[in-house]
Structure 1
């Protein structure tokens, strides 16, 4: 053990030290994002072809030209903004392990050993859930666009700008990914003791309604995307509630008073202790 650790066994830091640490972590994360954006610059054409594929899969009757892949540009800066968004999108994905580690390194000293163990499990799981949500949004997009464009008259042409389409794809993939991670945050809050299972069960109907409401807000005005997001959200929240139930039951077995609030009175044994028994009054027939 180092001398610094012996002097400060709880690894406490003043506020200014925390702010300096946060600034250093954010700086490193920004450098990682910039370097990831450089990678995005070199793979821009490949990534754009992948992002454009759902639009290219639309029926010919719903595209601008018979080839089905025409996106128009309406301003001189559209090309640069589209390229910049793709660079940033790739940069965030490529550098995700590094900037997630910076976030973890800032938060980890405040966690207990058990919480750190769970975090090592949940961090990769969060990444998998985010990727799963983004992939689902990618495949749902073509179905959603087909339904939306299906309301057009037969003689209408689909003039979709390149910026609008890219924004639509990034928002859909990002919102689906974040939506899939939210139930995991509920489980983490339960592990930390902030959100007990009783509170989750009490608000179950509100959570289900909110899942459909949020899905309807962040997805286009058609049922396919809404159901594709809302139904997995409800299932994941139910799994998070089941985890919270099992975790709270385990805590109660290990510590029967773990679920009590600070101002709540615990249940006392009704039987008299030996000292109380010997000091009972004469009316009980016991020795005083």
Structure 2
């Protein structure tokens, strides 16, 4: 009986992900696969949005405009609200544009998952956690900004169109209105991502709480300047609607940076003892601590004899 090697321990196979050791050609092949799947999901989302356009999506987009008073919007002979189209292909192009943008939004979880599957093998565990948190938080903040823009859209239109005064018939074209709505939603959504970028820079150690706290006044000032330039309408109402929530989010980012820096300093203080030799004294403060007020005065150990 062959007993050779019976006592030799078996080597455990490494549990590393095979995609982390791919060649360049394999990486390009994997990238092509992920991009292809992402485009397929976007195409399916676009087709769904194209069908949805006649079943509520178009009315949802026109709702802020059609909710204005009748003297501030265009009405046909039957009194129904509508947008003007000035060329033959205008209606088809508008519907395709809206369907494509909505399709990207609807399919975002699927193509973001494909992107995540491509970059995950090259990341460490803490980087993966940061990545998941960043994607989830950025998606939520973008949706929050877009929702706020949609809610404030009707008030902004009423303010801007009302400035035309009496005797002026307001009739917006579909191209102008859709472009205005999309640019406003994107401006609000992207602007709400800026405080999250500050948090991520703090997590990687590139931006400290002290720097953010000392620049708080500049952050407030630059936020108002940014809102004044980014908003498509550039009116005071829309600027305030964008700037005030951004300032609140930046203040939240500063507080998160404060907590992170405290934990980082506490962790660094603990890990600083690991580099000491066994016979080396730790850098502890050997001075006696201050006593409370009742024990500050010296008292004799024995009462004097009478």
- The alignment's TM-score, normalised by the length of structure 2, stands at 0.76
Largest Rg, 1 or 2: 2
Q: CA deviation at 1:244?
A: 1.3
Q: CA deviation at 1:209?
A: 2.6
2:139 to 124, 127, 150: 127
| Structure 2 residue 37 is the aligned partner of structure 1 residue 28 | yes
Secondary structure, counterpart of 2:169 in structure 1: coil
* Mapping 1:109-148, distance limit 5 Å: 109-148=121-160
Q: CA deviation at 1:177?
A: 1.5
| Structure 2 residue 68 is the aligned partner of structure 1 residue 58 | yes
What's the CA shift string for 1:156-198, capped at 9, x where partnerless? 0112110110111111112211222221232123222333323
Q: CA deviation at 1:212?
A: 1.6
Q: 1:106 to 1:2 in 2, by over 3 A?
A: farther
| Structure 2 residue 117 is the aligned partner of structure 1 residue 105 | yes
Q: CA deviation at 1:17?
A: 4.8
Secondary structure, counterpart of 2:201 in structure 1: helix
2:48 to 15, 20, 39: 39
* CA–CA separation in structure 2 for the residues paired with 1:2 and 1:168: 61
Q: CA deviation at 1:241?
A: 1.5
What's the CA shift string for 1:26-53, capped at 9, x where partnerless? 2221111111101111101211100000
Secondary structure, counterpart of 1:193 in structure 2: coil
Contact 2:67 2:154 (C-alpha < 8 Å) held by counterparts: yes
Partner of 2:256: 243
1:227 to 240, 259, 280: 240
User: How many correspondences in the alignment?
Assistant: 263
Partner of 1:279: none
Q: CA deviation at 1:10?
A: 10
Contact 1:60 1:68 (C-alpha < 8 Å) held by counterparts: no
Larger mean CA deviation between 79-88 and 200-209 belongs to 200-209
Contact 1:115 1:192 (C-alpha < 8 Å) held by counterparts: no
What do you get for the CA RMSD once the two structures are aligned?
3.0
* CA–CA separation in structure 2 for the residues paired with 1:10 and 1:89: 32
* CA–CA separation in structure 1 for the residues paired with 2:53 and 2:18: 49
The unaligned stretches of length 5 or more in structure 1 are: 259-268, 275-288
Q: CA deviation at 1:117?
A: 2.8
- The alignment's TM-score, normalised by the length of structure 1, stands at 0.80
* CA–CA separation in structure 1 for the residues paired with 2:92 and 2:13: 54
Q: 1:102 to 1:211 in 2, by over 3 A?
A: farther
Contact 2:73 2:172 (C-alpha < 8 Å) held by counterparts: no
Q: CA deviation at 1:118?
A: 3.9
* CA–CA separation in structure 2 for the residues paired with 1:177 and 1:244: 22
Contact 1:73 1:79 (C-alpha < 8 Å) held by counterparts: yes
Partner of 1:163: 175
Q: 1:9 to 1:84 in 2, by over 3 A?
A: closer
Contact 2:85 2:174 (C-alpha < 8 Å) held by counterparts: yes
1:185 to 197, 209, 221: 197
Q: 1:3 to 1:84 in 2, by over 3 A?
A: farther
* CA–CA separation in structure 1 for the residues paired with 2:13 and 2:237: 61
